[in-house]
A and B are shown apart, each in its own frame.
Chain A
Amino acid sequence: MSTDFDLDRPWRVDPRVSVRPEPFGALLYHFGTRRLSFLKNQRVLAVVRSLADHPSARAACAAAGVTEAELPAYTRALHALAQSSMISERTVV
């Protein structure tokens, strides 16, 4: 899988997606594609939930305490979520 996810762009959870916390992380359901995704820990959930509050995905990761060493794994996760339309780039006003 390619990892051409732009960490420096602003992102958000797609408005048609419902995010439900679970003990293992979270479940995401997209009402448009009727598809399900899973977040496998609490920190990636924190990143995803706060995407819309930060100027970039990188800032959201930093605020959630993701270290430089961990960043590639989080980038891959965000890339997978973007490919399945769970998150999308937001247009900055």
Chain B
Amino acid sequence: MTLTSDLALGSGKPPGGDPARTASAAPGRLTDLFQLGLDAPICLTWELTYACNLSCVHCLSSSGRRDPRELSTAECKQVIDTLERMQVFYVNIGGGEPTVRPDFWELVDYATAHHVGVKFSTNGVKITPDVAARLAASDYVDVQISLDGATAAVNDAVRGPGSYDTALRAMASLHHAGFRGFKLSVVMTRHNIPQLDAFKAIADRYGAQLRLTRLRPSGRGADVWHELHPTVDQQRSLYDWLVAHGEQVLTGDSFFHLSAYGSALPGLNLCGAGRVVCLIDPVGDVYACPFAIHESFLAGSVRDQGGFQAVWRDSPLFASLRAPDTGGACRSCGSYDSCRGGCMAAKFFTGLPLDGPDPECVRGHGEAALAAVDASAAPRPSVDHSHRTVPVTIGRRRPPERGCDESPLAGFAVP
């Protein structure tokens, strides 16, 4: 339900995480204000670590190995102090797998004690029954379990062997602990769009809320996007499904490019990058959005003079993102007011110009544009923490392949 009056708008879900449902209540107006940026993000994404026990093929932050320059516990607490001062309502914590940081729970407690709510994304590896009970007791912590297939076969092909069971075990623990309304988060691919109803059934079974987001060609996603992104027919069926389910299903505003099919989907329906959202990465670098980990969208670092607040308020990059859109090549298209040209990161990492159509433009302009660019010339992610080999199985040590794998001095002889 969206409530509206002349002076106050209510009952929206926040952007970044999940957008305010106000666009239909106040056509244009608030969206226009948001377009010019806010004094502080409504919420922001904070990837706490690049370390991850999984190696999902579409990982948008190319995670796997921990970065040695990762923010320390003390530095993270300073960031939280800043967010409290700026009255950032909550952070979407991700990674990597954030719960593998030894200080993860300490940081969650510190944030909530300082009036910064936490929603964290996890593959479920650390959500034991004890942890689930703790989480269920807090108003200020929300959990998002990632699952990219309604069956183990579809999920594990993308997220790795065993990841389906891990996620379902975590959901069972949360459900059993009485946590209602945690999020089941799904990245939509060519293989799982036929499973929409099955995902909804899983969410319902565990008392969770379904959250569907868009596959972006970011991070390792750039390598698989061409095979995994939805077909044209699937995009249409996804849109119809989202319209039919309305506010029951969250989308993090990620499908606003589909609004060009007809009525707008719930949400702000604008690119929030640098305007209402941004990303802090594990080493403290601030990017315009979680899907744009590339030096072109690097606004500064929380380690710079003035910290995060100075980056948010004074970065020239963010100032340029807050300037009014010109529409570019899309300006003459009748759908521009609905789709606003789509996702900046999707265009960037497929090699398309930022002022042209989205690669998944529902009018078909993206396909034509893609055909005209050299895919091999598309920008590559600047940062890659992927596991160099398959993830190590704990407890089973592989024998060294050569002597020098065991000892750095093996075979070294003093002349």
Contacts and interface: CB of A to CB of B under 8 A. Distances in A.
A38 to B, nearest CB: 4
A35 B142 CA distance: 13
Given A31-B139, A40-B6, A18 B87 contact: yes
Interface of B: 3-14, 20, 22, 30, 33, 38-40, 42, 87, 89-90, 115, 117, 139-140, 142
Which secondary structure dominates where chain A touches chain B?
A: mixed
A37 B115 contact: no
Nearest to B14: A36
Nearest to B5: A76
26 contacts: A16-B139, A20-B40, A21-B39, A23-B33, A27-B38, A29-B89, A31-B89, A31-B139, A34-B117, A34-B142, A35-B14, A36-B89, A37-B12, A38-B9, A38-B30, A39-B7, A40-B30, A44-B7, A73-B5, A73-B6, A77-B6, A78-B8, A80-B8, A80-B9, A81-B8, A83-B3
Given A18-B115, A27-B42, A35 B12 contact: yes
B140 A31 contact: yes
Interface residues of A, number: 32
Interface of A: 1, 16, 18, 20-24, 27, 29, 31-32, 34-41, 44, 73-74, 76-81, 83-84, 86
Contacts of B11: 35, 37, 83-84
Contact of B10 (A16, A44, A83): A83
Contacts of A86: 10
A77 B7 CA distance: 6
Contacts of B8: 37-40, 44, 77-78, 80-81
Contacts of A21: 39
Nearest to B20: A36
A81 B42 CA distance: 19
Nearest to A20: B87
